Structure 1
Amino acid sequence: MSLSGKVAIVTGSGRGLGLAYARELARQGAAVVINDVDAAVAAEAVRVIESDGGRAAAVVAPVGSSEVAKQLVQAAVTEFGRLDILVTNAGILRDKSLLKMTDEDFDAVINVHLKGTFTSAREAFGYFKENGIAGRIITIGSPTGQRGNFGQTNYAAAKAGIVGMVRTWALEMKKAGVTANAVIPVAATAMTKTVPYFQKAVEADERGEAMPAFFRHDLGFGTADDVAGLVAFLASDAAAGITGQAIGAGGDRLQLWTHPEAAATEYREGGWGYQDLVENFGKLFGDKLQSVGEEFLPLPEELQPATAQPEPAAPAKVG
Structure 2
Amino acid sequence: MSLQGKVAIVTGSGRGLGLAYAQELARQGASVIINDVDEATAAEAVASIEQAGGTASAVVAPVGPTETAKKLVDAAYDTYGGLDIVVTNAGVLRDTVTWKMSDEDFDLVINVHLRGTFTVVREAATRMREAGTPGRIICIGSPTGQRGNFGQTNYAAAKAGIAGMVRTWALEFKKAGITANVVIPVAATAMTATVPYFAAAVEADAKGEPMPSFFRHDLGFGTAADVAGLIAYLASDEASGITGQAIGIGGDRLQLWSHPEPVATAYRDGGWTYESLREGFAEAVGELQSVGETFPPLPEELQPRPQA
After TM superposition, the score normalised by the length of structure 2 is 0.99
**Aligned position for 2:182:** 182
Q: CA offsets, 1:268-287, max 9 Å, x none?
A: 111100011111112333x5
CA distance in 2, matches of 1:193, 1:253: 20
Q: Deviations over 1:209-237 (max 9, x none)?
A: 00000000000000000000000000000
- Cα shift at 1:308: 3.6
Query: Any idea what SS the aligned residue of 1:139 has?
Result: strand
Q: Which runs of 4+ in 1 moved over 6 A?
A: none
The offset of 1:298, in angstroms, is 1.1
The question of 1:70 aligning with 2:61 is answered: no
Q: Distance in 1 between matches of 2:287 and 2:243?
A: 30
* Local SS of the residue matching 1:190: coil
The answer on whether the counterparts of 1:46 and 1:56 sit within 8 Å (CA) in structure 2 is yes
Q: Which residue of 2 aligns with 1:223?
A: 223
The CA distance in 2 between the partners of 1:13 and 1:193, in whole Å, is 19
Q: Partner amino acid for 1:299?
A: L
Please show how residues 150-169 of structure 1 align to structure 2 within 5 Å: 150-169=150-169
Q: Tell me which amino acid in the other structure corresponds to 1:75.
A: A
The two structures have a TM-score, normalised by structure 1, of 0.96
C-alpha displacement at 1:263, in angstroms? 1.1
* SS in structure 2 at match of 1:288: coil
- Cα distance in 1 for residues equivalent to 2:307 and 2:159: 34
| 1:107-154 Cα distance to aligned partner (Å, 9 max, x none) | 000000000000000000001000000000000000000000000000
C-alpha offsets along residues 261-315 of structure 1, whole Å, 9 cap, x if unaligned?
1111111111100011111112333x52011101111111111111243xxxxxx
Name the residue aligned to 2:291: 292
What's the secondary structure of 1:126's corresponding residue?
Answer: helix
SS across alignment from 2:276: helix
How far apart in 1 are the matches of 2:94 and 2:221? 23
| Structure 2: stretches of 5+ with no match in the other structure | none
Alpha-carbon distance between aligned partners in 1 of 2:258 and 2:168, rounded to the nearest angstrom: 15
1:27: which partner in 2?
Answer: 27
| Number of aligned residue pairs | 308
- Report the Cα distance in structure 2 between the residues aligned to 1:148 and 1:306, rounded to whole angstroms: 29
1:162 aligned partner, one-letter code: I
Once the two structures are superposed, the pairs formed by residues 221-300 of structure 1 within 5 Å of their partners are: 221-285=221-285, 287-300=286-299
| Aligned-partner SS, 2:173 | helix
Q: Is the 8 A contact 1:264 1:288 kept in 2?
A: no
2:141 match: 141
Distance 2:296 2:279 in 1: 36
**Equivalent position amino acid for 1:221 in 2:** F
Structure 2 CA distance for aligned equivalents of residues 126 and 284 of structure 1: 46
Cα offset for 1:78?
1.2
- CA–CA distance in structure 2, aligned partners of residues 3 and 36 of structure 1: 23
Distance 1:196 1:130, change over 3 A: same
Answer whether contact 1:89 1:139 (CA < 8 A) is retained. Answer: yes
- Aligned counterparts, 1:90-169, within 5 A: 90-169=90-169
Larger-Rg structure: 1
Following the alignment from structure 2 to structure 1, what is the Cα–Cα distance between the partners of residues 304 and 91?
28
Identity %: 74
Match of 1:302 in 2: 301
Q: C-alpha offsets along residues 53-86 of structure 1, whole Å, 9 cap, x if unaligned?
A: 0000000000001110000000111111111000
Q: Does 1:88 align with 2:114?
A: no
Q: Which residue of 1 aligns with 2:54?
A: 54
Cα distance in 1 for partners of 2:49, 2:253 equals: 27
- Distance (whole Å) between structure 1 residues aligned to residue 70 and residue 275 of structure 2: 55
Structure 1 distance, partners of 2:197, 2:80, is 43
Structure 1 unaligned regions, length at least 5: 310-319
Query: Structure 1: which amino acid aligns with 2:302?
Result: L
Distance (Å, rounded) in 2 between the aligned partners of 1:13 and 1:208:
21
